[in-house]
Amino acid sequence: MSKVLVTGGSGFLGGHCILAALAAGHEVRATLRNLDKESDVRSTLAAAGADTTPGLTFHAADLGSDEGWAEAAAGCDHVLHTASPFPPVQPANPDELIVPAREGTLRVLRAARQAGVKRVVLTSSFAAVGYGSAPAGHVHTEADWTPIEAPNQPYILSKVVAERAAWDFVTASGAPELSVVNPTGIFGPVLGPQLSASVQIVKGLLDGAFPPELPDMWFGVVDVRDVADLHLRAMVEPCAAGERFIAVSGEPLSLLGVATLLREHLGEAAVKVPRRAASAPAAAHPRRSSSDKARRRLGWQPRAPEEAILATAQSLVRLNLLEPSR
């Protein structure tokens, strides 16, 4: 089997990509910004069932610096580039987020080309697909792009700019091959206490951090285990080279729908979850998208969105990551 470099080895998706690659028999090298985290990451992966002793190594590399990337990519056959900056608050200056996202992606691609890596699978986002001016009811596909000139949040723009820069790079250089995965909101079982923005939604509902009347908020859902699986399929399938793949498991869920699901299945753990929506719903329509391309071309079969939500909540309970009841 091949040697796979996974960037962002301590992240939610990065951790699950490591688990999936090891389970498939690949040798894995993962990057961390600081190797002081290696012991904790190994322990977290081992607790999730991974045998990390023979097939997993770590390398220090930061997306903000050229240092370490050539060594990290050396000898690797494939790269799963899952690392990307995601700030707790949107910066006032969009370039504070856009520039690191673009330059970090290009650093990884340059190192991959120098090392003779066959294919890079880039984790982009539905943010790079579905935040244009599509009419109500439009189902987004991989042919859609969020316009760079649209007045969107810096995070959304950073995903568009970084992905376009990646495509421009491989078009100009001819190597390495590139596949892109564009997930909607990623949920599913957490591995440790560092939680993604999507998982924070479920945690916030269970912790009682939302107002009693929930806003009219909708989002696409996909399980992190299925996103990791899609990365591996995009890594090895010949037909995936030069292609984008939206990762979504069904129709969008509303925040109220997620809250109702949690109350129905989590028992006492869901006593703080709000029960009703705001009386004045927002005018925005849910952004719909299709994963038909990944299903047809790569044989991808994701879990139902409800299963992903419940797996998120159950893992938060199991790992004691919820706020204690008062």
Q: Give the burial class of 135: count Cβ atoms within 10 A of its Cβ; 0-12 exposed, 13-18 middle, 19 or more buried.
A: exposed
| 159 belongs to the catalytic site | yes
The confidence score (pLDDT) of residue 40 equals: 95
Mean pLDDT score, 188-204: 96
Is 84's pLDDT higher than 70?
yes
What residues contact residue 104 under an 8 Å CB cut-off, 6+ apart?
A: 63, 64, 83, 84, 85, 162
Task: Domain 3-189+222-249+285-303: state its class.
Answer: alpha beta
Q: By three-state DSSP, how is residue 50 classified?
A: coil
Which residue is associated with the tokens 């090891």?
22
Q: What is the pLDDT of residue 44?
A: 95
Give residue 177's pLDDT: 98
Quote the pLDDT of residue 135: 87
What's the pLDDT score for residue 88? 66
Residue 24, pLDDT above cutoff 80: yes
The pLDDT of residue 223? 98
Q: Is the pLDDT at 127 greater than 70, yes or no?
A: yes
Task: Please say if the pLDDT value at position 247 is more than 90.
Answer: yes
Domain ranges of the chain: 3-189+222-249+285-303
Express each pLDDT in 266-318 by its tens digit: 999 999 999 988 766 555 678 999 999 999 999 999 999 999 999 999 999 99
From 3, 118, 159, 293, the catalytic residue: 159
pLDDT number for residue 90? 73
The confidence score (pLDDT) of residue 259 equals 98
Say if CB 83 and CB 104 are below 8 A apart.
yes
Is the pLDDT assigned to residue 62 strictly greater than 70? yes
